[in-house]
Amino acid sequence: MIRVEGLTKDYGERRAISNLNFEAKQGEIVGFLGPNGAGKTTTMRILTGYMPPTEGTATVAGYDILSESLEVRKRVGYLPETVPLYTDMTAFEYLKFMADLRKIPNSADRAFEVLEMVGLDKRAESHIGNLSKGMKQRVGLAQALIHSPEVLILDEPTIGLDPAQVVEVRNLIREIGKQRTVMLSTHVLSEAQQVCDRVLIINKGKIVAEDTPENLQARLVGSERAALRVRGDADGLSKLIGKIKGVQNIHTAPDGSVEFQFAPGQDVRPEVAKAVINGGYELLELRPVGMSLEEIFLELTREDNTGRRKEK
């Protein structure tokens, strides 16, 4: 359980996070989705007791992060953005050491257990300094799990992992999240949608949207976009497709392709293709264009303003 009220952090003059309010319940995986500098790491560091907030309060596993930070640390597993690892130790030695620090009985068994959980048991005897970046990330994750914490706070848990490991770690998080409280940060919209029960979108230190992945998806398909590429000169192309009903917001992308939008359920692409060919152009490509994270923020904040946002 995590409860955050009015959390604010200033670094000197710069406000990194501003009046954050949210909750994460037991058995819930909450995703923190946002671009670089949004304030994800700042929030997580405050929640794990590594840094005090400037204003506001939070409780983690029922304990106050300021007045009961030791109790919080006992109950929270934290995968920091950059994991401080002892590179001279083997993976096993390091995890046993962490288990001993936390006074976990049978620390050797437990160390091996968490190595297995993150798929590193075969590298238990490797020195951490000799492990690949993704493997180091997994040692960090193992360290966060060592004391079976009630609350897990994972700062970009899948960054640097290969695709197979991304799938495994996501599955592991889902499994862990059934009984515990998990908060994870990510830049990747699809990751938030696949793993999380609820997604908080943070931008410039503020939560701009909060929803289930399903609702979020529904809100994001507010309009669809496609890009069109022809051989040679694209002059007059915008004008040509601009005459087609339902084609909106035409503009030329830096690579010379012509992008346009259309309403969902009103797929204008067949008409566009026909018009382009009948117009004497050689059609090379007509492809869907995904939304960037930044555009999603714009879209979501815009929806906020028009009151289309689903309140819960």
Ligand X SMILES: Nc1ncnc2c1ncn2[C@@H]1O[C@H](COP(=O)(O)OP(=O)(O)OP(=O)(O)O)[C@@H](O)[C@H]1O
Which residues sit at the interface with ligand X, rule CB under 6 A? Answer: 11, 14, 16, 34, 36-42, 81, 187
Least Cα distance to 60 among 141, 156, 150 occurs for 150
The span from the CA of 212 to the CA of 245, in Å, is 34
The listed partner (Mg ion, ligand X, none) that binds 86, CB under 5 to 8 Å by sort, is none
- Closer by beta carbon to Mg ion, 81 or else 304: 81
The listed partner (Mg ion, ligand X, none) that binds 37, CB under 5 to 8 Å by sort, is ligand X
Helical pair 107-117 and 91-101, crossing angle rounded to 10 deg? 120
- Closer by beta carbon to ligand X, 10 or else 93: 10
**Least spacing, CB of residue 155 vs ligand X, in Å:** 7
**Least spacing, CB of residue 40 vs Mg ion, in Å:** 5
- Closer by beta carbon to ligand X, 31 or else 39: 39
The span from the CA of 174 to the CA of 27, in Å, is 10
- Closer by beta carbon to Mg ion, 111 or else 166: 166
Residue that is written with structure tokens 């005090």 in the block: 52
Query: Using an 8 Å Cβ cutoff, are 209 and 216 in contact?
Result: yes
Alpha-carbon separation of residue 227 from 53, 132, 163, 202, 297 (angstroms): 45, 39, 28, 29, 21
**Least spacing, CB of residue 156 vs ligand X, in Å:** 7
- Joined together, the tokens standing for residue 130 give 């000799």
The span from the CA of 21 to the CA of 310, in Å, is 17
**Least spacing, CB of residue 42 vs ligand X, in Å:** 3
**Least spacing, CB of residue 130 vs Mg ion, in Å:** 26
Coarse DSSP helix, strand, coil percentages of the chain, rounded to the nearest 5 percent: 35, 30, 35
Q: Considering just the CA atoms, what is the radius of gyration of the chain in Å?
A: 24
**Least spacing, CB of residue 81 vs ligand X, in Å:** 6
- Closer by beta carbon to ligand X, 56 or else 258: 56
Interface positions with Mg ion (CB under 5 A):
40-41, 81
- Closer by beta carbon to ligand X, 39 or else 213: 39
Q: Tally Cβ neighbours within 10 Å of residue 306.
A: 7
